[in-house]
Amino acid sequence: MDFELSDIQKQIQQTFHEFVERRVIPRAQEIDEKKEFPHRLFHEVGELGFFGMRYPENVGGTGSDITSYCLAVTELARGSLSLAAACTMQSLMGTFFLYRFGDDEIKNKYFIEAIRGKLIGGICMTEPNAGSDLSGIISMVNVTENGFILNGQKTWVTSAPVTDFLTVFAKTDNHEQLSIFFVPTNLPGVLLGKTIEKLGVRGSLTSEVSFSDVHLPKNYLLGEIGGGTKSMLEILAEIRIMTAALSIGVATAAYNEALEYAKTRIQFGKPIGTYQAIRMKLADMSVQLETAKHYVLYAAWLSEKNLPRHKESMIAKLYASECANNICDQASRVFASYGFAMEYPVQRYFRDARFTLIGGGTSEILKINIGRELGL
């Protein structure tokens, strides 16, 4: 057992830590308030090699291990969960199926440019009536002699207003199971719908997208007809571990702010942190943060070693996101009125953290699936 990070992992953590201190934290409040996609920072994250971390060097990635990736994700989320949500979408779900199943055209024209941060990708699974239950997807693809025709409506598509291409889950007229399609957004019939006003991660734009008779060539099928769910399982554990790392990032930001405030805010002649009520809050937050952080790294380690990790990735995501929400809630209480003021960042952490309860599977769904893993 070795709990020490390698030199490379420490170096990656430090690089992202410094970038977040210097470039992200000073802009995080503005990203949230303006509700604008942070293009410039997104490109800078691309220049750091983040989008290619989980892909091998022979396709332009850096071949980093998942622990290094989680450390980078945590740092980005510590600075701005909006930026981190947009960047993780690009580095994982938005590009994975292109890497895994794309032909030379898709890889050279889109994938390689996306992991450089030059093009932006998104994923379309959710529909108005299909959220946790993706078997409810009704987007339909007609299989023709020359390719495919896609019709349907998607919602909650991260980065949709700025994407160059989408990965779309749909049913085909010749198979009951889901298939995955590559869809450049400049094709006729791809229509951007309304942008959803959100409680948190407001700088990560989320919109509806619809498809009206979108013609796709044969090579835009990613994987096999009906193979969508199986393909998704290849990356699901990593998505959950990554979402857990996002949770650790926002929780760390809230915890750090609350600790500092507890040391400096004077009431009744003493720093509030000297009162047992506040001290116990900080202790509880620290216990949750440390245990969640270590469990997430454990799940990443299992993944790295290619050991079974289905249940552990769910535990990591469930526990880290629930802890993050509790930590942000407790931080808000430590700040009291200043935790309620829009000019202080604690309210943003509190709002942003709600996202971690949903992305990568809701807590209820994860508990049901963990229960199943227990043989119940």
Ligand X SMILES: Cc1cc2nc3c(=O)[nH]c(=O)nc-3n(C[C@H](O)[C@H](O)[C@H](O)COP(=O)(O)OP(=O)(O)OC[C@H]3O[C@@H](n4cnc5c(N)ncnc54)[C@H](O)[C@@H]3O)c2cc1C
Binding stretches for ligand X (CB under 6 A): 89, 122-126, 131-132, 156-158, 201, 206, 355, 358-359, 362, 364-365, 368
Closest approach of ligand X to the CB of residue 236, in Å: 12
Closest approach of ligand X to the CB of residue 320, in Å: 17
Residue 281 or 354: the one with the smaller Cβ distance to ligand X is 354
For 9-13, the CB contacts below 8 A with 24+ separation are 9/65, 9/67, 9/68, 9/71, 12/64, 12/68, 12/71, 12/72, 13/68, 13/71, 13/72, 13/75
Quickly tell me which residue has 């941060």 as its tokens. 117
By beta carbon distance, the residue nearest ligand X is: 131
Closest approach of ligand X to the CB of residue 354, in Å: 8
Whether the CB-CB separation of 299 and 244 falls below 8 Å is answered with: yes
Residue 16 or 355: the one with the smaller Cβ distance to ligand X is 355
Residue 195 or 362: the one with the smaller Cβ distance to ligand X is 362
CA distances to 29, 149, 218 from 145, rounded to whole Å, are 51, 11, 9
User: How far is the C-alpha of 62 from the C-alpha of 208, rounded, in Å?
Assistant: 33
Closest approach of ligand X to the CB of residue 137, in Å: 10
Residue 52 or 94: the one with the smaller Cβ distance to ligand X is 94
Residue 11 or 132: the one with the smaller Cβ distance to ligand X is 132
Crossing angle, helix 66-79 and helix 228-264, to 10 degrees?
A: 50
Closest approach of ligand X to the CB of residue 266, in Å: 38
User: How far is the C-alpha of 232 from the C-alpha of 227, rounded, in Å?
Assistant: 9
Closest approach of ligand X to the CB of residue 124, in Å: 6
Residue 217 or 371: the one with the smaller Cβ distance to ligand X is 371
